[in-house]
């Protein structure tokens, strides 16, 4: 089934959906410009703006539901951004509103959580300003009705991510990580920009509507090139291979940031881009195949990295990479996978935010210790954190009836149908997920205490635990709500289309059982290694494979060897060439002129008689020359 | 009303007035007042401009040397108008920013501010001139105040930098003079009026030679790779305010000249040399950015980023599509604001610590958050972050170029990655990390400095989200220019409905 | 007839030229210059007579006037130099160089 037409809309909450963006933007502006005067109420203003944005999103959602499914794509025109290239317009449709709800809801919870988490930070106001900025930019990204608007939001979230990763910028590691995230993302943006240029050159339009129309019309369209270029952008933002390296370093940011930006929302923008560009990708098998391959490669790579990390946040980051890999895989399959990709994106947003915030709660109680080898037995001192984290854990490994079970299983089943090799690799990934998540939970909450002497773990305040509780409820019920009866697929289909034949949910399919079995093996193996056995305080050297995973599959080493070092050489060479070569040429020309005139002026000796002699010689030469020429 | 002459006249009279004021402080206030009056007048003029009216508006024409057909003739189209606005906006900001810049040396403070107003008059004149000879006169005369601003008020190596700047520019100017005279003679019209000279040179070979004469002068001025090496020296040695006017406005005369004179007077030669210019531009974009990454001196770094940015502008001019041309024009304006902000804030920082070297800083964010924040915004505008006006222009240049020249545009796009590296790395080394001992007690921006930075950032933001007012003025002018070449935009591969755009 | 005058003129000119080149005393150099000028005058007058018009004679007058003016200024300079340096050697007055 093809996507529905976009209907121009004005009035109502949808007509005012720009408020969703404007409110947090206003919050950010007030907090940044207001300076210290706003310190007292900064966090409250930040929360209020995020919640208000959620309210607008929810009302818009309700209004949208009031329309018949075929009329649920509403375009809202705002103003002319670059005449002749693109207008600023919003597109409120099932796809974008799903994102809006996720962003503003999880965003609001994380804002609230941050009140407690950042309570002792002197720059808390700035933190909330950046968070508000992020929410606004992310909403621009998903609400824009054209690629230019998407790009504006795309870079905006990149900026917010940069500012927030480097929030504790006095730490050189944080500053470096922030810079790295931005630059690696820019590599992706390079692809995205050229993709957008190609779209414009092909259609002279950047709107989704125009692109869909043009694709339907056909002609000489470089769809594969556009698809691959957009994918490069998606890889950067979503930390997919080969641009994955920044995400693990991004964990230098405060934990609520990791939860909101680097787990629940921003990093999934790549999936959004692929799904939104469905008309382009569906016209090119090559690009779709590459998307699925990237997805599978990343889901395995992320999972493998997750198995070896002792830093709780980095283990979770590996897991995020891996889960986004699943979404990419589904998004690459086409309309059959879109609904699962987005559904998994939403449930993942809940359970991963839940776990990140849980990890934050643990760190909050443990003097910001992140090494899981210094944890152990925390379930007794942090009961709420433990329970909510455990729910998130069950959800992510696909424990029956929890969220991840439905959404991830949907992806694996669809992938299996699409291509068996990809399907089985996805199953393998699920098994590894079972292992590394169990390892994380066992090392943190079970076993003996391995705390540092000065650690006094305690449960976090209510302002931090309530968001955890709400998120964990989402982690329990959302999957079943979205997937059973194909509810989400039907809701989404006006925006992205759907396969003619709706998939049906089989609880006991071969694939499903195989997945469960592999996950169980993973869990048991993790219990054997980390649950029942003593966890050494210092990581053992481990095998070649462990080292491989610990070093992020040598991603950084590779970047360093292939890009950074040659880049440094090139820079040095260029500077040298500029000083000695280009400028040298200019200066030597100047020196040549200066030098020769210095020589020449030596002729002026000051002796009148030598001047007289030269006059005579000159005259003689002239006369001689005249004789010679005259006689010829 | 003879708006353009009034603008220049007020600046010149102001410059004379400043020298008569006996008190330095009063002189500064007087300068600021004059520059604000000029700004107000320019705005009053701009609102009367009708974008779709005559090509040149507010025209004036008086005989100057009747025997040779030289006129004092001024007038503006959309392109010149926005550049004049850029100049008159930057001057008061620079005056305010340079409040104490001239006091360090032994030279007269009043002269410095007087020179600034003289320069302002010349900047207006050079963009407004519609007589090629008059343009040449302003083009060369502009060097003189700038030479003194660098040579008398600059850093330690100021005379080297000033002489290099002067000689390099004079060399280009002489080539141009030859071409101007040749143009006059060969055209045989007995006039230097630009509108009368358009289309008079038909022979392609003649066009090529004359084109080169003009182009090399403009390429040195802009500066385009490989004629760029005077810029880092000049910008690094000039006081921050002079550097802003130098890079922000004076250099724009080069790219403006390419768009106005090279394209319209020598269309066939422009097309012939397009591959060469595009190659130079793309080299400049990538090369300037890479060399910028390797700089250790903040002001030199910013100067090299400008080499990269000027590559974008020249690329846009010679791509000869509406989007690229309009983008390039807008780029000239935005680059003035962006680099202006960057130079001025770097100048504030350098003034506080007394060193231009990046390595002497670290962790400034902690002690001077406002300074660091504004520096970051200025830096982000240099790397063309969406939401800031530089993005709009860079996007338009690249989109417009990509329509015609796919590979060069793609290579130029790597500039976005390199820009992120040079800006963020500089920011990290100066502002982030543990606070260096030597900067522990740096004061944050004071009220005057905030007033300097605020309008620039406001302009960057406003035109970042709403560039339409500028583009509405620029678009018709660029279309007009391109239609006289003539150059047409390539058609899309697939035509979609107008509403869908 | 003409040839004799011209030969005499050439001889005088050559003597003057050699004098300018080899003598150091400014006065003598000066006199040699005068000799050269007069050699020229002789040639001019000769040609005037040969061609039967007045052009050469007029030029000769011009030369004389110039020479007179030169003597006035030149001698003044030489005297001044002699007064300050106690020497009229042209080789000593070589400060104006490079």
Whole-number pLDDT of residue A462: 85
Residue B82 lies in a domain: no
Contact by Cβ (8 Å): A549, A462: no
Mean pLDDT of C50-68: 92
Which pLDDT does position B109 carry in this prediction?
A: 87
Judge whether B259 lies within some domain. no
Residue C17 to residue A616, Cβ atoms within 8 A: yes
Q: Which residues of C touch A605 (CB under 8 A)?
A: 94, 97
Q: Which residues of C touch A613 (CB under 8 A)?
A: 21
DSSP A169: T
Cβ–Cβ below 8 Å for B434 and A209: no
What ipTM does the predicted assembly reach? 0.92
Q: Is B54 on the interface with A (CB under 8 A)?
A: no
* Residue showing tokens 């022979």: B203
Give residue C94's pLDDT band: very low, low, confident or very high (50, 70, 90).
confident
Q: A408 vs chain B: nearest CA distance in angstroms? A: 35
Averaged pLDDT score across all residues of chain C = 90
Using the predicted structure, report yes or no on whether residue B442 has a pLDDT greater than 90: no
End-to-end distance of chain A based on CA atoms, in angstroms? 98
In-domain check, residue B432: yes
Across the interface, whether the CB atoms of A32 and B373 are under 8 A apart is answered yes
Q: The tokens of B332 are what?
A: 């000239």
A605: contact with C, CB 8 A cutoff: yes
**Chain C CB within 8 Å of residue A599 CB:** no
8 Å CB contact between B125 and B87: no
With residue B50 as reference, give the H or E element that holds it.
none
Q: Given a contact as 3+ CB pairs under 8 Å, which chains touch C?
A: A
Residue in B290, B403, B424 nearest the CB of A574: B290
Q: B471 lies in which domain range?
A: 268-490
Q: Is B388 within 8 Å of B461 (Cβ atoms)? A: yes
The CATH number assigned to the domain with range C2-85 reads 1.10.287.3510
**Bridge partners, B65 (sequence order):** B70
Shortest distance between the Cα of A526 and any Cα of chain B, in A, equals 39
Q: Which of C95, C96, C98 sits opposite A601 (nearest CB)?
A: C98
Instruction: Collapse the DSSP code of A90 into the 3-class scheme (helix H, G, I; strand E, B; otherwise coil) and give the result.
Output: strand
Confidence of residue B499 (pLDDT cuts 50, 70, 90): low
pLDDT 10s digits, B185-238: 998 888 999 999 988 888 899 999 999 999 999 999 988 988 998 999 999 999
Q: Which residues of A touch C24 (CB under 8 A)?
A: 609
> Residue A511: CB partners within 8 Å, gap ≥ 6?
A409, A412, A413, A416, A423, A427
Physical contact, B and A (3 or more Cβ pairs within 8 A) = yes
B468/A151 touch (CB, cutoff 8 Å), yes or no:
no
Residues B356, B358, B359, B362: is their CA dihedral positive or negative? positive
Residues of A in contact with C96 (CB under 8 A): 606
Question: What's this model's pTM, rounded to 2 decimal places?
Answer: 0.89
Instruction: Tell me which of B372-381, B400-409, B438-447 is least confident.
Output: B438-447
Q: Which pLDDT band, with edges at 50, 70 and 90, does B122 fall under?
A: very high
Q: Mean pLDDT for chain B?
A: 90
**Is residue B246, in this structure, part of any structural domain at all?**
no
Which of B291, B425, B501 lies nearest to residue A204, judging by beta carbons? B501
Domain count, chain B: 1
Q: Is the pLDDT of residue B68 over 80?
A: yes
The ranges of chain A with pLDDT < 70 are 1, 631-632
- DSSP per-residue letters across A347-402: HHHHHHHHHHHHHHHHHHHTTT--BGGG---TTTT-HHHHHHHHHHHHHHHT-TTS
For chain C, report the end-to-end CA distance as a whole number of angstroms. Answer: 49
Mean pLDDT of B177-186: 93
Instruction: State the chains in contact with A (3 or more Cβ–Cβ pairs under 8 Å).
Output: B, C
Nearest to B417 among A183, A570, A586 (CB): A183
Share of chain B above pLDDT 70, in %: 99
Q: Is B209 on the interface with A (CB under 8 A)?
A: no
Q: Does C84 touch chain A (CB under 8 A)?
A: no
> CA nearest A33 in B: which residue?
B370
Residue B105 has pLDDT above 80, yes or no: no
Chain C environment of A601 (Cβ under 8 Å) = 98
Q: How many CB atoms lie within 10 A of CB B234?
A: 31
Geometric angle at alpha carbon A78, from A212 and A65, rounded to 5°:
65
Kind plus residue range of the DSSP H or E element containing B65: strand B57-65
Rg (C-alpha) for chain B, rounded Å, is 22
H helix or E strand, kind and range, residue A87 = strand A86-92
Residue B62, beta-bridge partner list: B72
- Which of B51, B171, B291, B465 is best to mutate for the A interface (most A CBs within 10 A)? B291
C90/A607 CB distance under 8 A: yes
Which of A123, A186, A566 is the best substitution to test chain B (most B C-beta atoms within 10 A)? Answer: A186
Residue A632's pLDDT is 60
C-alpha span between A532 and A551 (Å, rounded) = 27
Give the closest of A175, A211, A582 to B226, CB-based: A582
Residue among A607, A609, A618 with most chain C CBs within 10 A, to mutate: A609
Q: Are A429 and A421 in contact (CB under 8 A)?
A: no
Q: Is A453 on the interface with C (CB under 8 A)?
A: no
Q: Is the pLDDT of residue B459 over 90?
A: yes
């Amino acid at each position: 089934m093809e996507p529905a037409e976009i209907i121009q809309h004005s009035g109502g909450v949808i007509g005012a959906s720009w408020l969703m963006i404007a409110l947090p933007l206003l919050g950010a502006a007030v907090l940044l410009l207001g300076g210290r005067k706003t310190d007292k109420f900064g966090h409250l203003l930040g929360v209020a703006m995020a919640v208000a944005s959620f309210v607008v999103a929810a009302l818009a959602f309700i209004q949208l539901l009031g329309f018949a499914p075929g009329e649920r794509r509403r375009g809202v025109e705002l103003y002319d951004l670059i005449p002749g290239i693109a207008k600023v317009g919003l597109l409120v449709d099932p796809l974008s509103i799903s994102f809006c709800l996720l962003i503003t809801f999880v965003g609001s919870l994380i804002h609230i959580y941050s009140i407690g988490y950042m309570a002792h930070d002197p720059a808390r106001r700035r933190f909330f300003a950046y968070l508000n900025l992020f929410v606004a930019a992310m909403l621009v990204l998903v609400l824009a009705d054209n690629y230019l608007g998407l790009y504006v939001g795309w870079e905006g979230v990149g900026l917010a991510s940069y500012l927030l990763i480097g929030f504790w910028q006095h730490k050189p590691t944080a500053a470096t990580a922030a810079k790295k995230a931005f630059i690696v993302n820019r590599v992706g943006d390079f692809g995205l920009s050229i993709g957008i240029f190609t779209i414009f050159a092909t259609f002279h339009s950047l709107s989704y509507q125009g692109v869909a129309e043009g694709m339907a019309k056909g002609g000489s369209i470089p769809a594969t090139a556009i698809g691959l270029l957009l994918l490069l952008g998606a890889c950067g933002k979503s930390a997919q291979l080969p641009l994955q390296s920044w995400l693990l370093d991004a964990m230098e940011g405060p934990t609520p940031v990791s939860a909101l930006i680097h787990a629940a929302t921003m990093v999934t923008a790549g999936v959004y881009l692929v799904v939104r560009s469905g008309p382009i990708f569906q016209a090119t098998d090559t690009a779709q195949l590459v998307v699925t391959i990237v997805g599978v490669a990343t889901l395995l790579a992320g999972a493998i990295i997750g198995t070896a990390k002792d830093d709780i946040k980095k283990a979770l980051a590996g897991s995020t990479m891996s889960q986004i890999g699943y979404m990419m895989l589904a998004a690459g399959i086409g309309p059959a996978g879109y609904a699962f990709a987005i559904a998994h994106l939403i449930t993942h947003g809940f359970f991963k935010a839940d776990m990140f915030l849980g990890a934050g709660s643990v760190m909050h109680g443990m003097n910001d210790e992140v090494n899981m080898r210094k944890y152990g037995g925390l379930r007794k001192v942090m009961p709420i954190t433990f329970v909510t984290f455990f729910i998130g854990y069950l959800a992510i490994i696909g424990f029956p009836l929890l969220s991840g079970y439905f959404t991830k299983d949907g992806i694996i089943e669809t992938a299996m149908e699409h291509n068996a090799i990809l399907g089985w690799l996805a199953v393998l990934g699920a098994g590894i997920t079972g292992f590394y998540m169990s390892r994380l939970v066992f090392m943190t909450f079970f076993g003996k205490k391995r705390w540092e002497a000065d650690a006094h773990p305690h449960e976090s305040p209510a302002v931090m635990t309530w968001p955890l509780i709400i998120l964990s409820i989402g982690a329990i019920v959302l999957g079943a709500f979205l997937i059973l009866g194909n509810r989400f697929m039907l809701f989404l289909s006006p925006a992205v289309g759907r396969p003619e034949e709706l998939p049906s949910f089989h609880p006991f399919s071969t694939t499903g059982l195989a997945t469960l079995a592999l996950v169980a093996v993973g869990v048991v193996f993790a219990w054997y290694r980390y649950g029942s056995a003593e966890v050494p305080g210092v990581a053992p050297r481990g095998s070649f494979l462990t080292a491989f995973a610990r070093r992020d599959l040598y991603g950084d080493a590779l970047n360093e060897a292939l890009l950074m070092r040659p880049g440094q050489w090139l820079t040095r060479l260029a500077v040298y060439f500029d000083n000695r070569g280009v400028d040298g040429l200019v200066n030597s020309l100047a020196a040549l002129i200066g030098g020769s005139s210095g020589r020449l002026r030596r002729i002026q000796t000051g002796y009148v008689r030598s001047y007289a002699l030269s006059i005579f010689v000159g005259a003689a030469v002239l006369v001689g020359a005249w004789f010679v020429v005259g006689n010829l | 009303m003879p708006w353009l002459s009034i603008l220049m006249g007020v600046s010149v009279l102001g410059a004379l007035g400043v020298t008569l004021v006996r008190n330095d402080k009063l002189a500064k206030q007087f300068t600021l007042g004059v520059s604000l009056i000029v700004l107000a007048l320019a705005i009053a003029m701009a609102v009367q401009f009708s974008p779709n009216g005559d090509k040149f508006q507010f025209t004036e024409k008086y005989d100057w040397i009747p025997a040779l057909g030289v006129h004092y003739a001024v007038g503006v189209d959309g392109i010149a108008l926005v550049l004049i606005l850029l100049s008159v906006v930057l001057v008061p900001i620079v005056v305010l920013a340079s409040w104490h810049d001239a006091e360090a040396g032994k030279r007269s403070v009043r002269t410095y501010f007087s020179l600034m107003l003289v320069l302002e008059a010349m900047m207006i004149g050079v963009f407004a001139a519609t007589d090629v000879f008059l343009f040449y006169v302003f083009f060369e005369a502009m060097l003189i105040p700038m030479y003194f601003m660098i040579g008398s008020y600059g850093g330690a190596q100021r005379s080297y930098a000033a002489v290099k700047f002067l000689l390099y520019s004079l060399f280009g100017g002489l080539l141009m003079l030859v071409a101007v005279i040749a143009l006059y003679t060969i055209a045989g019209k007995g006039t230097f009026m630009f509108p009368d000279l358009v289309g008079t040179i038909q022979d392609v070979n003649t066009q090529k030679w004359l084109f080169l004469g003009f182009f090399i002068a403009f390429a040195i001025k802009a500066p385009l790779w490989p004629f760029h090496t005077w810029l880092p020296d000049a910008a690094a040695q000039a006081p921050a305010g002079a550097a802003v006017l130098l890079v922000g406005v004076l250099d724009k005369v080069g790219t403006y000249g390419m768009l106005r004179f090279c394209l319209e007077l020598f269309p066939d030669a422009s097309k012939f040399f397009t591959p060469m210019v595009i190659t130079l531009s793309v080299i400049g974009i990538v090369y300037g950015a890479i060399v910028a990454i390797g700089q250790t001196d903040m002001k030199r770094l910013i100067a090299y980023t400008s080499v990269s940015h000027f590559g974008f502008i020249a690329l846009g001019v010679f791509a000869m599509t509406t989007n690229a041309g309009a983008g390039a024009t807008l780029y000239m304006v935005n680059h003035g604001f962006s680099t202006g902000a960057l130079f001025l804030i770097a100048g504030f920082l350098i003034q506080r610590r007394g060193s231009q070297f990046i390595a002497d800083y670290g962790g400034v964010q902690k002690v001077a958050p406002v300074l660091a924040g504004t520096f970051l915004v200025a830096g982000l505008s240099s790397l063309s972050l969406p939401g800031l006006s530089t993005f709009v222009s860079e996007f338009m240049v690249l989109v417009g170029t990509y329509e015609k020249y796919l590979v060069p545009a793609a290579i130029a796009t790597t500039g976005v990655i390199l820009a992120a590296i040079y800006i963020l790395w500089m920011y990290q080394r100066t502002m982030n990390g543990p606070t260096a001992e030597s900067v522990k007690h740096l004061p944050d921006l004071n009220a005057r400095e905030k007033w300097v930075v605020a309008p620039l950032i406001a302009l960057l933001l406003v035109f970042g989200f709403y560039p339409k007012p500028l583009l509405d003025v620029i678009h018709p002018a660029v279309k007009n220019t391109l239609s006289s070449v003539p150059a047409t935009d390539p058609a899309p591969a697939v035509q979609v409905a107008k509403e869908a755009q | 007839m003409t040839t004799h005058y011209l030969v005499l003129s050439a001889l005088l000119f050559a003597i003057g030229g050699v004098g300018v080149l080899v003598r150091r005393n400014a006065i003598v150099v000066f006199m040699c210059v005068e000799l050269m000028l007069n050699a020229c005058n002789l040639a001019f007058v000769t040609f005037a007579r040969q061609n039967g018009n007045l052009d050469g004679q007029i030029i000769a007058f011009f030369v004389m006037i110039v020479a007179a003016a030169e003597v006035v200024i030149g001698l003044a300079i030489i005297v001044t130099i002699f007064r300050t340096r106690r020497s009229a050697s042209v080789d000593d007055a070589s400060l104006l160089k490079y």
